């Protein structure tokens, strides 16, 4: 297959690029160490909306509007909108999509959703199915708590391995315009289920999925971790990141100093966030903010994004199912 390496990793020879981007985050994320990398920090996490779900939707709509504005592209010139989020039936994305007359591809990959969108967007461009693709995702601490855990009014204490859902939204336009980093490869992950069942330690459940995808990506491309300036896992958090390092070390991988983790880094050590951040917006804002700034300022030339997702629901937890996990890897080049 022309576009492939005889493997499962896809290669994008035509060089689809991320040619416009916008990230916005909540006040807590805006107090973290990457605050300067985000385009907008919300003064409050409600945006004056009556429900957190409305806020989440509005954040995604704002990110989309700003991305379009920066690209000087109208919605009519886009060929697809690929979006997904954490809410039941991805209603944030569906409601936001209803305001734009562009073909909509709804996806779900939990916190890996953003990488799935990047990969599918690159597929549509490389395969000559589109010239401009819009992608987006969002998450909100309060909507995720309500849906997956406890109403925030109960003030249930978090434990050390818990992660905090990032409040934020991100959108990007992928095209062949002559700017922005190229998307060179996508390694779509397989679902890995190690039998772990603790929804309060999703990092440990996701680490084996990240390990597997990284291993496959490196084998497929003949690269090592050191061929990337940064390998950014999505939101393993501190616990999951530790496990990923152990798994890679055990199999003799080198270049572990290139590993970074969006979830572990988006909040400062001084912030009470358990093992770190998570949520569909986490890897999205860290990639479109921090990583793209690093690529554009030539602080990094080549980066691998490994977005991880825990594919559970509140119901599967109650029914005693284990937590299947996934990780999609996307290679970006300056």
Contacts with a copy of itself, residue ranges (CB under 8 A) = 1-4, 8, 10, 51, 53-54, 79-80, 84, 86-91, 94-95, 97-98, 100-110, 116, 120, 123-124, 126-131, 147, 187-193, 311-316, 319, 321, 324, 326
Helix (H, G, I), strand (E, B) or coil at 213: helix
Write down the H helix ranges in 222-325.
237-250, 262-265, 280-285, 292-296, 314-318
Minimum distance from residue 75 beta carbon to a copy of itself (Å):
10
* Residue 84 or 168 having the CB closest to a copy of itself: 84
The neighbour count for residue 157, using CB atoms within 10 Å, is 7
Minimum distance from residue 259 beta carbon to a copy of itself (Å):
22
Q: Which two tokens stand for residue 69?
A: 């504005």
In the DSSP assignment, the letter for residue 286 is I
Minimum distance from residue 101 beta carbon to a copy of itself (Å):
5
* C-beta of residue 306 within 8 angstroms of C-beta of residue 287: no
* C-beta of residue 309 within 8 angstroms of C-beta of residue 109: yes
Minimum distance from residue 49 beta carbon to a copy of itself (Å):
11
* CA–CA distance, 169 with 288 (Å, rounded to integer): 10
* CA–CA distance, 154 with 152 (Å, rounded to integer): 5
* Residue 101 or 159 having the CB closest to a copy of itself: 101
* Residue 3 or 224 having the CB closest to a copy of itself: 3
* Residue 43 or 101 having the CB closest to a copy of itself: 101
Q: Please, which residues bridge with residue 172 across strands?
A: 21, 135
* Residue 41 or 323 having the CB closest to a copy of itself: 323
* Residue 2 or 222 having the CB closest to a copy of itself: 2
Minimum distance from residue 274 beta carbon to a copy of itself (Å):
21
Minimum distance from residue 149 beta carbon to a copy of itself (Å):
14
DSSP 165-195: E--EEEEEEEE-SS-S-EEEEEEPPPPB--S
Q: Please, which residues bridge with residue 135 across strands?
A: 82, 172
* Residue 212 or 258 having the CB closest to a copy of itself: 212
H or E element, residue 14: none
Minimum distance from residue 268 beta carbon to a copy of itself (Å):
30
* CA–CA distance, 223 with 225 (Å, rounded to integer): 7
Q: Which two tokens stand for residue 55?
A: 């806020």
Q: Which two tokens stand for residue 97?
A: 């999509």
* Residue 35 or 95 having the CB closest to a copy of itself: 95
Minimum distance from residue 314 beta carbon to a copy of itself (Å):
7
């Amino acid at each position: 297959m022309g576009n492939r390496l005889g493997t499962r990793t896809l290669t994008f020879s035509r060089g689809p690029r991320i040619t416009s981007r916008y990230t916005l985050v909540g006040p807590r994320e805006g107090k973290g160490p990457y605050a300067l990398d985000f385009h907008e920090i919300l003064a409050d996490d409600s945006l004056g909306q009556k429900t957190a779900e409305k806020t989440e939707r509005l954040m995604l709509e704002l990110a989309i509007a700003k991305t379009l504005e920066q690209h000087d592209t109208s919605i009519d010139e886009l060929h697809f909108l690929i979006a997904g989020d954490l809410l039941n039936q991805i209603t944030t994305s569906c409601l936001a999509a209803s305001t734009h007359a562009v073909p909509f591809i709804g996806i779900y990959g939990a916190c890996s959703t953003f990488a799935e969108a990047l990969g599918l967007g690159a597929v549509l461009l490389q395969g000559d199915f589109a010239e401009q693709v819009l992608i987006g995702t969002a998450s909100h601490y309060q909507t995720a708590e309500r849906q997956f855990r406890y109403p925030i009014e109960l003030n249930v204490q978090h434990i050390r391995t818990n992660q905090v859902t990032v409040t934020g939204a991100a959108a990007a336009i992928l095209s062949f315009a002559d700017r922005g980093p190229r998307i060179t490869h996508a390694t779509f992950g397989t679902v890995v289920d190690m039998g772990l069942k603790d929804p309060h330690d999703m990092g440990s459940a996701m680490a084996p999925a990240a390990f597997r995808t990284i291993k496959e990506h490196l084998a497929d491309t003949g690269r090592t971790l050191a061929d990337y300036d940064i390998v950014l896992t999505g939101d393993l958090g501190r616990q999951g990141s530790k496990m990923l390092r152990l798994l890679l070390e055990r199999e003799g991988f080198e270049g572990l100093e290139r590993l970074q983790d969006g979830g572990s880094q988006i909040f400062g050590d001084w912030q009470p966030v358990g093992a770190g951040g998570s949520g569909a917006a986490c890897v999205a804002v860290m990639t479109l903010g921090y990583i793209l700034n690093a690529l554009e300022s030539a602080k990094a030339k080549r980066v691998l994004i490994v977005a991880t997702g825990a594919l559970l629901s509140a119901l599967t937890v109650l029914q005693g199912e284990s937590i299947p996990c996934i990780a999609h890897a996307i290679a970006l080049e300056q």
